[in-house]
Amino acid sequence: MRQTAHVHGPPGEVPALRIRSSGYTRWLFLTYAAGFTALLVLLVVLFSRPDATNAGWGIAGAILVAIGAVFTGVAAVAAFRPVRITGGELRLARMWSTVRIPVSDIAGVGLLFVDGAPGTRVVCGWSPYVWRTDRTVVALGTGRFVPRRVVRAGDPSATKRVVVGKNGIDALASTDMAALAGSAAGTAATRVRSFVLASQGPAGPLARQELQREPTRPADAGALFTAYWSPTGESGRY
C-alpha cells in the first residue's frame, strides 16, 4: 500500500494533515462492491423476460441493481477519502459517516496486531490506531501490514504464506520490525503521532502518556489484539 501525506496551511494558522492511501486493501474492498453489483445485474438478465411471469422478477432485480450501485458508490467514496487532521480534529472516514476525534483527546498513536479467532477468515496483521485519553482505541483505517511468514507460539518454524484464517500467531517473531516501521501502516502512525505531538505541545496528553507503549491492552480491545508497536520503537506482546 502506498500513501501520500500533505501538511498545509496559511502562515500563522494551525496546519492540516492529510494522509491518502492506495493499495490492495481498498481495491479489494471496491472489487467486492463492484462484484456485488455485477451479480445483481446478472440476476436481472436471467429473470427479466417479456412474459408476465418474469416481469416481477425483472422489477425486483432492477431495484436490487439500484441498491448495489448505491452501495458501490458509497464504498468508493469511503475507500478513497483520506485521514485528515484539520480544525483541531482527527477525521476518519467510515462507510456512512465520519468519526471525529479532538486532537486534544489523543494520548497514543501506534499499531496493534490483530490475530484471527479459530474458525474465522480474518487477515491477521498490524493496523494503525489512536488511543484516546480514556484508553479506548479507534482504527485509523489506512491499511494493514501483513507479515510474510507465520510463526506460531511455541513453534520456531516459519513458512511463507498469507496470514489468513490463522490464529495463535507470534506477532513479534513473525514480523520484520524494520519493514513494519517503513510500511504504509507504520508510516501513517508515525506521521499522525508527529503531527499530534506538534499540535498538543510537550504538555499534551500524547507527550505525557504515549499509551501505545504500555504493555496493557486498550480499555475496549478484545483478545484479538495480541501485540503493540510504537513509532518510538517499543513493541511487545499482550
Give the start-to-end residue ranges of the domains of the chain.
105-237
Q: Which residues of 34-54 are buried (b: 16+ CB within 10 A; e: fewer)?
A: bebbeebbebbeebeeeeeee
The per-residue pLDDT for 8 is 45
Three-state DSSP class for 127? strand
Taking the C-alpha atoms of residue 102 and residue 150, their distance in angstroms, rounded to an integer, is 37
Residue 156: what pLDDT? 61
pTM of the prediction? 0.71
What pLDDT is recorded for position 72? 64
Give pLDDT, residue 163: 62
Helices (H) and strands (E) in the chain, counts: 6, 10
Residues 31 and 130: their CA atoms lie apart, in Å, by: 28
Distance of alpha carbon 5 from alpha carbon 192, whole angstroms: 10
pLDDT digits (tens, 9 = 90+) for 120-153: 666 788 999 999 999 999 998 877 898 887 787 6
Predicted confidence at residue 16, as pLDDT, reads 80
With a pLDDT cut of 70, the percent of the chain lying above it is 59
Question: What are the per-10-residue average pLDDT scores of the chain (238 residues)?
Answer: 43 60 55 67 63 60 68 60 84 79 96 78 84 94 82 66 69 92 92 94 96 93 87 95
Predicted local confidence at residue 169, as pLDDT:
84
Give the pLDDT of residue 9.
Answer: 44
pLDDT score of 13 = 41
What is the model's pLDDT at position 194?
95
